[in-house]
Amino acid sequence: MTSILEVNQLQKTYVDSSFGLKDVSFTIPYGSIVGFIGENGAGKSTTMGSILGTLQKDSGTIKIFGEERNPKDVHINEDIGAVFDTIKLPGGLTVAKMDRVFQQIYANWSKETYFKLIQLFSLPKNKLVSSFSRGMSMKLSVAVALSHEAKLLILDEATVGLDPGGREDVLTVLRDFVKDQKCSILLSSHITSDIEQIADSLIFIKGGEILLQATKEEILGNYGIVQCDPIEYRNIPSNIRVATRGNDAFFDVLVSNKEELPSSLKSKRFSIDDVTLLIMRGERV
Ligand SMILES: Nc1ncnc2c1ncn2[C@@H]1O[C@H](COP(=O)(O)OP(=O)(O)OP(=O)(O)O)[C@@H](O)[C@H]1O
């Protein structure tokens, strides 16, 4: 088994909304951190909710650890850690009391891991969780998700509201989590610098449709972004054009193999942010 998660032709619609996931398919190998990138309303949370079983899919298959996800199988939730922007923590409890509650919920709850993370994240043990700031609550959610020996983490905007130090602590912990190649993370974030820092591969989603899944190494090593006029544009082989943005006079073009560009065109230096903008705001060609 090479993939910890396999999503195949997932479709999900809502009553009273024209939005729908359109045959969403992707895989997450063991030991990897996958960045899930898309603009507001692209379908990231809908995809993640369908994987977690908090949303009911219309069709398609979701295999976790090689087995099709059965919403009635609550044991699988032991193996999945989730952090959502809107997650509800028990506000009337303290960090210390939460430890006792989660011991009852999770068979593999590790008190030691939990308090190690609480200390690392500098969270107070005896203050009510309802008094926590947004960033503190996010750190607490990450600590809980990492303390029940989950193998797959689904993190939706988990670094939102964290100060630079907190963000660095969380990213370090996440990197450690996948180190032994037995666990993986699906991470959505609008902070592309976080994704650029820790993700091994990237999935781009737009309007409920996956536009690209590629490793970061492949994108930064083989892909290219060129600026060209319409005549130069026509000389770029169509099979390497991924996305194009521009006006009648000039285009920015993302290509999947810069080696196949005509010799007159050279790729500029680019970041994952540049690629994201071109894919999200450009046309597929
Ligand atoms: N419960 C719901 N009922 C109807 N429409 C919904 C519901 N939840 C989400 N949607 C719609 O589905 C689309 C995708 O939403 P989703 O939350 O998956 O996007 P997202 O990529 O996570 O966005 P963001 O980055 O803003 O969190 C949006 O158009 C949203 O309005």
Question: What digits encode the pLDDT tens for the residues 168-227?
Answer: 999 999 999 999 888 999 999 888 888 888 999 999 999 999 999 999 999 999 999 999
CA-proximal residue: ligand 1, atom 1 (nearest):
14
pLDDT grade for 68, boundaries at 50, 70 and 90 = confident
Q: Is the ipTM of this complex over 0.95?
A: yes
Which pLDDT value is given to residue 1? 62
Q: What is the mean pLDDT of residues 256-270?
A: 93
Residue closest by Cα to atom 30 of ligand 1: 41
Residue 208 Cα to ligand 1 middle (Å): 10
Give dist(CA 84, CA 69) in Å, integer. Answer: 20
Enclosing H/E stretch for 180 = none
- C-alpha–C-alpha distance, residues 67 and 96, integer Å: 35
Percent of the chain with pLDDT over 90: 73
Three-point CA angle 75, 80, 86, nearest 5°: 115
How much distance in Å is there from the Cα of 17 to the middle of ligand 1? Answer: 9
pTM as predicted: 0.92
Taking CA atoms, 271 is separated from 231, 248, 275, in Å, by 26, 25, 7
Side chain identity at residue 10, one-letter code: L
Q: Whose CA is nearest to atom 28 of ligand 1?
A: 41
Residues 30/35/40/44 CA torsion (nearest 10 deg): -10
pLDDT digit string, tens, across residues 82-121: 988 666 778 889 999 999 999 998 999 999 999 999 999 9
CA of 237 to the centre of ligand 1 (A): 36
- Which amino acid makes up residue 121? F
Cα distances from 100 to residues 1, 15, 94, 113, in angstroms, run 35, 39, 10, 14
Mean pLDDT, range 7-19, rounded to an integer: 95
What was the pLDDT predicted at 87?
A: 62
pLDDT recorded at residue 3: 92
The bridge status of strand 184-188 relative to strand 33-37 is parallel
Q: Which of 202, 205, 204, 279 is nearest to 245 (CA)?
A: 279
pLDDT in tens, 80-90: 999 886 667 78
Weakest mean pLDDT among 18-27, 64-73, 259-268: 64-73
Minimum CA distance residue for ligand 1 atom 25 = 40
With the most atoms of ligand 1 within 8 angstroms of its CB, the residue from 13, 15, 45 to mutate is 45
Instruction: Identify the residue with better confidence: 200 or 70.
Output: 200
CA of 49 to the centre of ligand 1 (A): 10
3-state secondary structure of 178: coil
Mean pLDDT of 6-30: 96
Nearest CA to ligand 1 atom 27: 40
User: What does the pLDDT average to over 28-50?
Assistant: 95
If you measure from the C-alpha of residue 193 to the centroid of ligand 1, how many angstroms do you get, rounded to a whole number? 23
Cβ 37 vs Cβ 202: under 8 Å: yes
Closest CA to 216 of 167, 272, 263, 163: 272
Could you give the CA distance from residue 240 to residue 207 in angstroms, rounded to a whole number?
22
Which residues form the pocket of ligand 1, taking CB atoms under 6 Å from any ligand atom? Answer: 14, 16-17, 19, 38, 40-46
DSSP string, 48-99: HHHHHTSS--SEEEEEETTEE--TT-TTHHHHEEEEETT----TTSBHHHHH
* Mean pLDDT of all residues belonging to the chain: 91
